[in-house]
Structure 1
Amino acid sequence: MSEWAALDETLTPEPLFVVEAPDKKPGTELQRQATLLKLLRHLAPDVIAYANTNGTHIASLAGRAKANREGRTIGAPDLTVVWNRGVAWIEMKAGKGDLNPAQIDFGNRLHRAGQHVGCFRDPMSALEWLRSLGAPVRTAQ
């Protein structure tokens, strides 16, 4: 393999983790993530889910610098989900949203470390995935 080919591979990594296919359903990434969190509150009360400080949408340079000092990690998945003896990381995307290289790299690092990481568009798919991992998620009625 040439040095140029190796460079190209590092710039466009392939996800080693679960990535749900794009869809045409309505809803922004934020709306889908909010729905997932609401479903978790109702169907998985013993699960702890929280957002990670990973955003690049911090308005000011001073705000970005402060977030970096606090440990912001570009590419970290949107949510950490914890339950008794389990943990998973979820990146939510809108229907046509794509993972960026930093998100793929971070997710691959988690995957290589033996952790559960997935990218979802449908909150119900994310719930099913968490249930398959052993998270105490009740079935929706």
Structure 2
Amino acid sequence: MNRILPALLLLAAPALAQQTITYDTNQSFDDVVFGLESAILDQGLVIDSVSHTGEMLERTREATGSDVVLFEEADVFSFCSASLSRKVMEADPMNIAFCPYDIFVMVRPETPGTTTIGFRGFPDGPMKEVEALLDGIARTAIGLDD
């Protein structure tokens, strides 16, 4: 019986993997961050936290024994929608695993002058409504309104 569970988890792993949805722009990192903050707030949402992932990775690069610069700049914005979160968790309480919702903004050294904004995709079902919200916010942030 103990051997069945790991085998099932291995079979489920590809189904659990989600795509990353990204948009590239020639706008500056700061302009995209400003646009993202505005787009989140315009939805009536509150930014819970901003992770300065790029700064952390650069600050710890030498200590981890790496000489690879991953990002020129990279931040991850976390936020939630009480009404949408309630809706998707009433459909399946396990959707708690996806909350809070994150959108990242980054500039990579190999693509200077290009800022990327993105988020992880979600599984079919109720979480697609969250994905649509994040997509709208990301597109609004860089001026790709529908």
Compute the TM-score of the two structures, normalised by the length of structure 1.
0.40
More strand by share: 2
Whose Rg is larger? 2
Compute the TM-score of the two structures, normalised by the length of structure 2.
0.39
